[in-house]
Structure 1
Amino acid sequence: MTPPKIARFMAQRLVRPVDHQHIRLLEPSAGGGILLAAAVESLLEKPIRPAIIEALLYEQDQRLIPALEALCQRIIEACAAAGVRFEYVIRGEDFLLSELALRGEPVDGLLTIANPPFFKLNKTTDERAHRHGYAVYGQPNVYGLFMAATARLTPANGRWCFIVPRSWMNGQYFKAVRHTMLRHLTVDSLHAFESRRDSFEEDAVLQETVIAWATGRAIRENGFNVLFTRSQGMSDLDQALVQAVPAERIVADDEHATVTLPSDGASLFDGWSATLSSYGLKVSTGPVIAFRCQEFIRAHGSYDTVPLLWMQHVGQQSINWPIFKKLEHVRATAANAWTLVTNTPMVIMRRFSPKEDERRVTCAPYLGTLPGAVIGLENHLNYIHRPGGRMSHSEVRGLSALLASSVVDRHLRAIAGSTQINAGELRSLPLPSMNIIEAIGCRVSEFPTLEEIDTAVEAELGLSAAPRKVAA
């Protein structure tokens, strides 16, 4: 259940000055009705109140229905004392399978407020995933379907507010959810909780939490800002400072539609305008998908094979091949040429990193030293390369060190809630000049420690007074 303090915080930004007399409220996963109560309370606190508040509540757990009925009766009395008529309907069914959700048509003046359940669904057998296939990609989570389904119901004069884990903001699994939301909504406010435990003490949930507020899609003026706040939990919620951040820095205008949380306060990244593409670099995903390439993968090398790198071969700033624990060779023939990449200097990184890893990015400079004109990279790896060209050793070492530095790590932890740093986030990552990147590469040793990397990066960025490395 949503703590009352957070419920009020959500409702106060959801409810704006009343400009029409009939307000419709939707709570698609009502629970105990705390969010409904907070929204009604906020409406009654406005100088101009609506004449009618109409609430529609969905709750599957039949044990909660009597408490919802009792709450709504109390709301009727409170509204009547303020000269407002309150009407309600409680539906003891799954909102995602309701006629309203499946129809998906905007409801005039609708205000939606929700703290939905979150658990994964089987997209092939679960009816909810099937009926909301427009928002399903990969392994769907039920909370994403709640977000997408209610977005479709929000008209241009409507508002929308959800409190959810922040994993929806990036990654492939929520890509269809984001696209659906952004077709129907304009995100105008975000709040990030740094600690899930401090906001929902009884829930053993490890992901950070965000609250998102949005308006029904309408014509947006140029220079639109998203209001952003951040707190550790509930204790410092009232002291959260407001940032006004250009919308284009929050929502990526590309196929991934990644939603990014800004860093806390001023950041040196704000002064960097370059990205990987500025330097002719591209981030790609390893093309060897093991179960599709079984006929080409080998345990032992031969005249027609080349090295195959898996996630286990990539450590922090080092490539270790072979390790004699994997199928470490792949055929290099015309039949599977599409699975291979040119054996050239590149930065290779793990697509997934455990939460306990010291840095969010685990990557290594690869200087093209393995045998063969081409090599294989398994699908759990990303790699940064220069198509039609060649990265220098100092570029590779410098970029790898920068990505593993504490400077970039703090930035990525601020913008990405999951342990997966996807290709879209790497593509949009602001970078310093290539001269600085190469200078970092010249500073670090062949197998630098994280401490050495931080010293080199901070020195070249002017964050410390470390002496420059002098060539012998």
Structure 2
Amino acid sequence: MTQILETIEKERLAVNPLLKRKSELGQFLTPLTVAKFMASLFDMSKMSNPKILDAGAGIGSLTSAFLDRLITEHLSDSADVSVVEIDEILRTRLLDTLSLFNDKLELRSQVISEDFIEWATRTLLDENSLLANVEIRFTHAILNPPYKKIMSSSLHRKLLRGVGIETVNLYSAFVGLTIELMEESGQIVAIIPRSFCNGPYFRPFRQLLLEKTAIKHMHLFDSRDKAFKDDEVLQENVIMLLERGAHQTDVKISTSKDDSFVDYTENCYPFEKIVQPKDTELFIHIPTSNEESFIERFPTVCYSLKEIGVEVSTGPVVDFRVKSYLRDTPEEGTVPLFYPNHFVGTLTEWPKVMKKPNAVFVDEDMKKWLYPIGFYTVVKRFSSKEEKRRIVAGVLTPESVDYTEVGFENGLNVLHFQKQGIPAELAFGLYAYLSSTEVDKYFRVFNGHTQVNATDLRTMKYPSRETLENFGRWVMSNSGTISQEEIDQKLEEIL
């Protein structure tokens, strides 16, 4: 059987450069090592006479890995397979792949040459569909769904809403539909970007997943380009084993650097560590160490931003929408426009020689987007993959510029109160807290991409306002640059 899988892997490597519709369809073919690992996650006691779904099947690598396990471990003599693939180039090879198994077991296969979302939503809505009979719903699904945003006005979005699924990306749409197509106790193994774990846009998908399945196992790669070396994909990936209708128990978390799995490690965690009981946003945390988390070590870190009297908003000035107002340098009638590059630690460098503008012209239309000068903590929304830190914070002070109003560009999150500045001690305390190594590590547990949203900051836990103000006074009393080690040490002391 290894020879069959090796043949399929050679075919994958050969066909990959031929795929001209990658950007259109979000196609990323699964390497053999990843496919075999995914197939290994299914509960062997549930694999007799399986009814398998592979949505976005490609050339059939995942289905082949599943069938290979059935045969080599003598788990079943027969299988029903439904593979869905819209790409004609891939579908031709998919048929060849399935034919390799015809004399190995009793295989009943159905190749569906349709758009999966259109086929699945029609199937779920069709009262006469055979799938309305729960006995012949799918028992197993294995998928590497496409990764591409869904436009709010698209047909896909309309079809998904018709079956009660609200989501913003093809990968979460594929998994959501697959959940709806499963038998009770049916198992799903999928490799998907980790971005669904947090943020407001994926909350309905997280709710669907948590209401209708139990998370059994999650495997985390360092980054998507480690698991998909042949593709220019930079999202962190997670492989998930879900079981429809199962009781949620402890979750197995495993990690590896890449698809060789040579440094594979695993631990079990109570579900309360994965989804915190009082978290209304349903963020999914993926701990990778049995060490106590930052929040567990310091129970006093238990306050929300709202409880400490702070709000957070995304910078309201979207530069490409106000191009005619932008100025490279300040001039009469303008005010400062701050970008992430203007903030270096506790210092504000403005104006600054850079590709972005430094000022924005003010009229009645622009005025509504401005903030009065004051003390503000700011956090970069986007960090590059080369940056060591996920959370990069700064502070704006009234002494930074001689203006009564300022603009914050959309690449910044702004911590304020009712669109006004906050006390100096609190602004510097929030800066130091968010700049600590422990908070950055804590944030990475539930954030799998390089974006920091206002909702992420709103959902995080903070020390009390008094503690933050003490932290801020310490920062303000130390002239010059404060080292990372000093910030981390001081945080330990005050908590």
Name the TM-score class by shorter chain.
0.7 to 0.9
Q: Distance in 2 between matches of 1:120 and 1:372?
A: 40
The SS at the match of 2:312 is strand
Query: What residue ranges of structure 1 are gaps of 5+ in the alignment?
Result: 80-84, 464-472
Q: Deviations over 1:202-223 (max 9, x none)?
A: 33322222112222256x56xx
Q: Deviations over 1:90-133 (max 9, x none)?
A: 123332332x3444367634321111233456665x65455446
Moved more, 293-302 or 9-18: 293-302
Moved more, 185-194 or 266-275: 266-275
Amino acid at match of 1:346: Y
Q: Distance in 2 between matches of 1:166 and 1:293?
A: 33
Q: Distance in 1 between matches of 2:276 and 2:179?
A: 16
Q: Distance in 2 between matches of 1:34 and 1:265?
A: 34
Q: Deviations over 1:413-439 (max 9, x none)?
A: 443222111122222334345565444
Q: Distance in 1 between matches of 2:113 and 2:176?
A: 21
2:265 to 207, 226, 240: 240
Q: Tell whether 2:81 aligns with 1:55.
A: yes
Trace 1:46-445 onto structure 2 (pairs within 5 A).
Answer: 53-65=79-91, 67-79=93-105, 85-98=106-119, 100-104=120-124, 108-120=137-149, 127-128=155-156, 131-132=159-160, 141-171=169-199, 174-175=202-203, 177-182=205-210, 184-217=212-245, 220=247, 224-236=249-261, 239-247=264-272, 249-250=274-275, 256-266=281-291, 267-272=293-298, 273-277=301-305, 278-290=307-319, 307-323=336-352, 326=357, 328-329=359-360, 331=362, 338-369=368-399, 370=401, 375-387=406-418, 391-432=422-463, 434=465, 437-444=468-475
Amino acid at match of 2:287: P
Moved more, 192-201 or 243-252: 243-252
Q: Tell whether 2:69 aligns with 1:30.
A: no
Asked if the contact 1:190/1:226 (under 8 Å) is kept, the reply is yes
Q: Distance in 1 between matches of 2:295 and 2:441?
A: 11
Q: Distance in 2 between matches of 1:55 and 1:200?
A: 25
Q: Distance in 1 between matches of 2:35 and 2:388?
A: 34
Asked if the contact 2:220/2:255 (under 8 Å) is kept, the reply is yes
Q: Partner residue of 1:467?
A: none
Q: Distance in 2 between matches of 1:187 and 1:291?
A: 41
Asked if the contact 1:112/1:161 (under 8 Å) is kept, the reply is yes
Q: Distance in 1 between matches of 2:319 and 2:279?
A: 29
Q: How many residues align?
A: 446
Q: Tell whether 2:35 aligns with 1:14.
A: no
Query: What residue ranges of structure 2 are gaps of 5+ in the alignment?
Result: 1-28, 126-130
Asked if the contact 2:226/2:257 (under 8 Å) is kept, the reply is yes
Q: Partner residue of 1:468?
A: none
Moved more, 309-318 or 29-38: 309-318
TM normalised by structure 1 equals: 0.78
Q: Deviations over 1:123-150 (max 9, x none)?
A: 65x654554467676xx54333323332
Q: Partner residue of 2:9?
A: none
The SS at the match of 1:276 is coil
Identity across aligned pairs (percent)? 26
CA RMSD of aligned residues (A): 3.9
Distance 1:230 1:435, change over 3 A: farther
Displacement of 1:229: 1.6
Displacement of 1:374: 5.2
